[in-house]
Amino acid sequence: MFRFAPYVFKSLWRHRARTTLTVSGAAVAMLVFCFVGSVQEGMERLTSDEDSQRTLIVFQENRFCPTTSRLPEDYAKRISALSGVTDVMPVQVWTNNCRASLDIVVFNGAPPEKLRSARDINLISGNWQEFESRRDAAFLGKNIALRRNLKVGDQFSIGDLSVRVAGIFTSPVPAEENLIYTGLAFLQYSREREDVGLVTQHEVHLTKEADPDAVARAIDAELRAGPVATTTRRKGAFQASTLSDLVDLIGFAHWLGYACVGLVLSLVATTTVMSVQDRIKEHAVLQTLGLRPWRIFRLVLSESMILCAVGGIFGTAVALTVLATTGMAVGAEGVTIAFQPSFKLGVAGMSVSLAVGLLAGVIPAWQAARTRIITALREG
């Protein structure tokens, strides 16, 4: 079959404009497919990893945006005394936008010693000493630093907050790389209204034997008689609930991905049919020279798969490059979903491209292989 490769490429190059437009259309469709897949992967990572299932979030009852949740900081002592709890980290959250946004900025303020033990932060620049010694120091996730073009030593301001970049970090949890960490006291004192003694939420870490749902019920029961009632959920469930509007949108985007696959299928199939119709006589001549119908079938199918493969490679490569270099994320109410490239996403893009190329070429190839020589020569 490889000896016919020059013929196949020559056939595609013969109609350069049509081939280029088909490849471009396939590339754009696969670009969108990969972006949709990236969002879906980000949502899955955010809500289903082990940490999200073994960590609890204590939030003010019937509150949604972080700015409306105001819990006493000393709730941490009462929660720590409960069975199954190993540690409690009070967290103050500030965000520039509680609605869905592609440029959301989220500050998480926590005691530095708690943050160091509770987060798997890998500093790629900066150091902990400056973060712990300066009240306005902040650690920036790699993605937010990339989007805002910030480096260690820069002063960064948004709204009424101004921080000095003490470090830039990566994290095994991609969504964490869209956060800015500061000391708890900084956010409590730096707002227009001081929030001394108040936090947005408490993050509860459990023992391996503890039942997260049982501990959540115990926490809410313990704090029910306090000044502020609470709702406690697993971290994954809390994030899914917070992003409920985006979850519906991502679910719709799932169908958009299928629509892109259908678009490629229709586009390549149409191009292949046109190519077969233009070369009816040519295929008849090939058969008179001794090519069997099965060989004609494979030649046409090869053209279809090459069109899809080239478009798929280009579209997938562009998508993965953009995802890797822009640090894109979408979020709402202080929770973010990271758009991250992955090997799985690249394999999915290429697999779909080849599968679509195969499906798009089967019917035109079958028609070309079944064409009778005499009829084809007369029509040609």
Residues 288-333: tens digit of each pLDDT = 655 677 777 777 788 888 888 888 899 999 999 988 888 777 776 6
Q: Give yes or no for a contact between 338 and 175, defined as CB atoms under 8 angstroms apart.
A: yes
pLDDT, average across residues 251-260? 78
318: how many CB neighbours lie within 10 A of its CB? 15
Tell me how far apart the alpha carbons of residues 128 and 269 are, in angstroms, rounded to a whole number: 58
pLDDT at 140: 94
pLDDT averaged over every residue in the chain: 82
Return the top range by mean pLDDT from 7-21, 159-173, 191-205.
159-173
> What DSSP element (H or E) covers 192?
none
Residues 3-45: tens digit of each pLDDT = 656 766 676 677 777 778 888 888 888 888 888 888 888 777 7
Reduced to 3 states, what is the DSSP secondary structure of residue 303? helix
pLDDT, average across residues 157-167? 88
pLDDT at 128: 92
Our separate counts of H helices and E strands in the chain read 15, 14
Model confidence at 192: pLDDT above 60: no
Residues 87-112: tens digit of each pLDDT = 999 999 888 777 666 678 889 999 99
Residue 84 tokens, joined: 């199954």
Tell me how far apart the alpha carbons of residues 84 and 215 are, in angstroms, rounded to a whole number: 7
pLDDT at 37: 86
Q: Where are the domains of the chain?
A: 2-46+245-379, 62-228
Tell me how far apart the alpha carbons of residues 69 and 89 are, in angstroms, rounded to a whole number: 16
Q: pLDDT > 90: what percent of the chain?
A: 26
pLDDT, average across residues 362-380? 67
- What is the 3-state composition of the chain as percent helix, strand, coil, each rounded to the nearest 5? 60, 20, 20
pTM of the model: 0.76
